[in-house]
A and B are shown apart, each in its own frame.
Chain A
Amino acid sequence: MKKIILFITLLLFGVTIFSQTMDDIRINEFSPNYNGDLINPLGNKSPWIELYNTSRVSLNIGTIYLTDDRNNLTKHQLPKSDALKLSANGFLIIYLDTTKHFHPTVATLSTETGYLALVLSDGRTIVDSLIYDPKLIKEGEFFRRTIDGYGNWENTDISTPLLSNDIKVYESPNEIVKRLDPYGIGISIICFSIVIIILIFLYLIFYYILKIKRPIVKTKRVEIKKEGEDFKTEIIHNEEEISSEVLAAMATALHLYLLSMHDYENGIITLKKVPKPYSPWSSKLYNLTPTPQKIHLPKKIIYEKNRPNN
């Protein structure tokens, strides 16, 4: 008995899953008057609809119907084809092209009726439908759900074929500034305030660091011992800081002193014959390889050097 109940439960569960997944197909985006870059498999630019699988299992939507006629729900049946497989939460584009050529992803439907419906394979159950006024549609205008598979329909200038409708459209900083702050007043106020705050912050930090440091810099503790006395600790203050004028004078004096000392000679190119005082830098003697000199050794040493080693 238990096995029968389990079997029936599993059967019902399976049927439920199947019916749920087929029911969960939705029309997600619709381009009734398309003039973009998408080319359908027949080589034409044509209107298209984007279907969205809201379930978490992949399925093939072959055998379901698409129609543009309320009175004829079985106007176009999608064939069984691998091209009609929708992954979990996946998208599929079906092109609407009235030219009489066959392709699994092309339906021979028109957008001029103002009606579009997705019908289950039973030919009666409408899964999703869309009603619009074809006369009000402008070129390059799209319909899409605000949330994939569930949201309300909205008109838009931006299409997202095979992509989620929730994608935030990238807007460059240039566009954002142009739209929100065309004269840059907001940006200028914010940036200038931040620059001021950062530099005031730096001022405060260094001002207070210097305040804390001053006593440490200025005083020194020393131990002094005089004859016949105990150690005595005294705090003596550093000498007054040298003023910048004195420092500048010292630096100038040093600079002038160092300028007067030079270890190079003035080079002057001239055709005139000039007296050339001796300088080791210009002496050829130091640049030549010394001539080998014969060393005069005592006879005894020469004899010892030349004697064969026996």
Chain B
Amino acid sequence: MNFLDFVVDNLKKFLEYTAFANMSWGNLIMIIIGLIFIALAIIKEYEPYLLVPIGFGIILGNIVSVPGLQIGIYEEGSVLNYLYFGVIKGIYPPLIFLGIGAMTDFSALLSNPKLFIIGAAAQIGIFGALMLALLFGYAPTEAGAIGIIGGADGPTAIFLSSRLAPHLIGAIAISAYSYMALVPVIQPPIMRAMTTKKERLIRMKPPRAISKREKILFPILGILLTTLIVPSGLPLLGMLFFGNLLRESGVTRRLAETASGPMLDIVTILIGLTVGASTQASTFLTVKSLGIFALGAASFMIATFGGVLGVKIMNLFIKKPENKINPLIGNAGVSAVPDAARVSEMVGLEYDPSNHLLMHAMGSNVAGVIGSAVAAGLLLSFLA
């Protein structure tokens, strides 16, 4: 072998190792999708904290390398694979719930505990999507994981799919986060269609101030009442209420700040990036993924329908007019904090510019978080 052959051989080898040589059209499509996510986040500011890491992760996951170099996310021993471990084993979602608990003020819910019921009613989206998925031939565990998209809660969706259908995590997470970003588009038509003008103008009593003792009691009673009935919801609910106790106890301010600040940011970066990277074209661009997107949209619609209907049914039992609930906050029962609550406020203001529903909607919004975590725990105990 002369020098020229040596150079040519190495050049050939190099070319074989480039991503271009190993890429498919699918990878190219996924990279474009990743770029669209990043563009939406930066230009339109749609959920930038999620779409930037996910979009970038999609690009990372679809730059294909030669197998055996320990680079790809599904390759054992690669850095991305180690980071992905937190998704597959369901470590990141409870940590995110810890942060959410530490940053959430449940006062709006505590001042009007009736809103708990809206959080439950909206969970019908989960079970509606579950039944539809079974009808379309998905395996029961896959159907459970798809159904949880209707909970409109990214960490919950990732947690449950990591337990029930790890092979669908990418599609489910992307679907859940995409529809959460699209809540302002999906929900208003359903809300308008299901309510009368009179109902939209209902003014709710302003929320009362909540004492510190009530705020401290909430996470303690909450964890006992929910997880004693549904222990499988412990990882999510336990962390949520623990985080909230750190916040409300008043004696662990530093811990609460860390949980809701730097720690939440770190885990959000890791979960977004790795979930994005898990969407390699070979596993993501399938008919199943398309089905998941369709079912995800259906689950959001059913959940919105269920939430608004739940309020309307509750109003039938509320006698005093001043205690009636505006059905426009029913949509917020799907979680999607705080976008769904913002939608309630926006739609409410369209009909009465002085009727602010945001705080009430936040109550049903956080009730939805608890409801979806309970539903995830139940699906886990039935299907795992």
Binding site for B on A (CB under 8 A): 173-174, 177-178, 182-185, 187-188, 190-192, 194-196, 198-203, 205-207, 209-210, 213, 217, 241-245, 247
Contact = CB atoms under 8 A, between A and B. Distances in A.
A183 B374 contact: no
B130 to A, nearest CB: 5
A184 B146 CA distance: 13
A178 B143 CA distance: 11
Nearest to B143: A184
A200 B116 contact: yes
B117 A196 contact: yes
Contacts of A201: 225, 229
Given A173-B140, A244-B359, A217 B211 contact: yes
A183 B131 CA distance: 6
Contact of A205 (B225, B370, B374): B225
B263 interface: no
9 contacts: A178-B140, A183-B134, A188-B131, A191-B127, A191-B382, A192-B124, A202-B222, A213-B211, A247-B209
A239 to B, nearest CB: 11
A209 B359 contact: no
Contacts, number: 116
Given A198-B120, A210-B113, 11 more contacts: A173-B383, A177-B383, A182-B134, A184-B127, A188-B127, A188-B131, A191-B127, A192-B127, A209-B217, A210-B214, A213-B211
B349 to A, nearest CB: 15
B207 A244 contact: yes
A207 B382 contact: no
B213 to A, nearest CB: 7
A243 B206 CA distance: 7
A187 B383 CA distance: 9
A9 B222 CA distance: 71
A251 to B, nearest CB: 12
A200 B225 CA distance: 11
Given A183-B134, A200-B120, A210-B214, A195 B225 contact: no
A199 B116 contact: yes
A199 B119 contact: yes
Interface in B126-161: 127-128, 130-131, 133-135, 139-141, 143
A203 B114 contact: yes
A198 B117 CA distance: 9
A279 to B, nearest CB: 29
A241 B244 CA distance: 24
Nearest to B108: A244
Contacts of A191: 127, 375, 378-379, 382
Give the interface centre of A183, A187, A213 by most chain B CB atoms within 10 Å. A187
Contacts of A203: 113-114, 116-117
Contacts of B209: 241-242, 247
Interface of B: 110, 113-114, 116-117, 119-121, 123-124, 127-128, 130-131, 133-135, 139-141, 143, 206-209, 211, 213-214, 217-218, 221-222, 225-226, 229-230, 359, 367, 370-371, 374-375, 378-379, 382-384
A73 B266 CA distance: 78
A209 to B, nearest CB: 7
A178 B141 CA distance: 10
B141 A185 contact: no
B214 A194 contact: no
B117 A174 contact: no
Contacts of A217: 211
Contacts of A199: 116-117, 119-120, 367, 370-371, 374
Contact of A206 (B110, B226, B375): B110
B177 to A, nearest CB: 23
Contact of B141 (A173, A190, A206): A173
Contact of A202 (B113, B123, B206): B113
Given A178-B140, A198-B374, A207 B135 contact: no
B206 A200 contact: no
A184 B117 contact: no
Contact of B221 (A178, A183, A205, A213): A205
A206 B111 CA distance: 9
Contacts of B359: 244
A177 B131 contact: no
Contacts of B121: 196
A203 B114 CA distance: 6
Contacts of B206: 243-245
Contacts of A192: 123-124, 127, 375
Give the interface centre of A174, A191, A192 by most chain B CB atoms within 10 Å. A191
